[in-house]
Amino acid sequence: MRVLAALSGGVDSAVAAARAVDAGHEVVGVHMALTRNRAATRSGSRGCCSIEDASDARWAAEILGIPFYVWDLSEEFEERVVDDFLSEYRAGRTPNPCVRCNERVKFDVLLERGLALGFDAVATGHYARLRGGASAGRPGETAALELHRAADTAKDQSYVLAVSGREGLSRALFPLGDAPSKAAVRAEAERRGLPVAAKPDSYDICFVADGDTRGFLQRNLGAREGAIVSPDGDVLGTHGGYFGFTVGQRKGLGLTRPAPDGRPRYVIETRPDTNEVVVGPAELLQRTVVDGKDLVLLAAPGVVADGEGWQDVTVQVRAHGRPAPADVTVDAAAGTLHAVLRQPLRGLAAGQSVVVYGGDDGGRALAQATVA
């Protein structure tokens, strides 16, 4: 197959491209330039898409002996990821920008351009496993496609990939899905002579390179003083904008008065209409029901009917969160999901992604939705 390999400049994408070459595919490397700041440099292990990353990607392509290109996707990234991030926080929701980036840039845009250029599939350094689709040598086939957790559950990224759906994933290759560990991938990169073998991972939000998410939000949405209140409405303090707080947050509340019972307070709710942040005890964070919208059904068509679903499966609401046992029903026509949890989850916020897992080994992604 003709495969377009996304080279981020990190070790994972470099080894994934190398494995695609080993598999006999005709591979072309592409680096997606997502930042509008062309002078950006990498700071520690934060961020991505820096000058160093582009250079490292080019270097890896040279060692692998594959053609290499840089695509400027900064406009698409700004519109589809950064603007979405800001609008979600403005609405009082907690988005996952990595989910949006995978869906709207790393797959939608990359695949759209790749197909237009005659490529059969895209390969990335994500840790996840596919059965069927391009991974079985049948690009574009969706009938048998299944998304499964990676062999290394500590690095598994199926959670952020599920939103791409069967059609988007049908032309994807994840060569690292069976890798036993990140250490093994680094060792493989070193054996191959790839210069990124010891390069640190990027983390946090890539377009907030200093890690100060609240500062980024205030700079873009503007500081706006409001009240921090108890569930009963008592004013406990002030803040610089409700969007700087997330449900479940404990630190950084700036409160000087302790709770009457001495227990810590957590963010229970943010109220955009009144610019209030509600704080209270931990037990108010417990959720036993999860409702989702914008359903993405990953199970094969006909496997689950409207109003039906799966018993004794698990749901995950954070990229590295604990899977929670649940019974789930879906309404494909309405695009909704309803999960009754067998164990309560804490700190669930509107805008988060929820992924349902099941199958024989419990590691197959069955559906994805956005917490309502």
Using an 8 Å Cβ cutoff, are 71 and 32 in contact? Answer: yes
Is 206 marked active-site? yes
The tokens for 194 are 């790839």
Q: What are phi and psi of 297, to 5 degrees?
A: -90, 115
Among 171, 180, 160, smallest CA distance to 108 is for 171
- Residue of 48, 49, 98, 101 with catalytic role: 101
> pTM for the whole thing?
0.89
pLDDT tens profile 317-334: 998 889 999 999 999 889
Rounded Cα gap, residues 348 and 267, in angstroms: 11
- Residue of 48, 49, 98, 206 with catalytic role: 206
The tokens for 31 are 């680096």
**Alpha-carbon distances, residue 55 vs 9, 34, 41, 166, 229 (angstroms):** 7, 14, 11, 33, 49
Is the pLDDT at 48 greater than 60, yes or no? Answer: no
Is 48 marked active-site? no
pLDDT tens profile 238-282: 999 999 999 999 999 989 878 888 899 999 999 999 999 999 999
pLDDT tens profile 126-162: 999 999 866 655 555 555 789 999 999 999 999 999 9
The tokens for 142 are 């969706």
Task: For 111-259, list the strands marked E by DSSP.
Answer: 121-123, 129-131, 146-148, 172-173, 226-229, 235-239
Residue type, 188: E
Domains of the chain: 2-191 (3.40.50.620), 223-280 (2.30.30.280), 287-371 (2.40.30.10)
Query: What contacts 155, CB < 8 A, 6 or more positions away?
Result: 127, 179, 181, 182
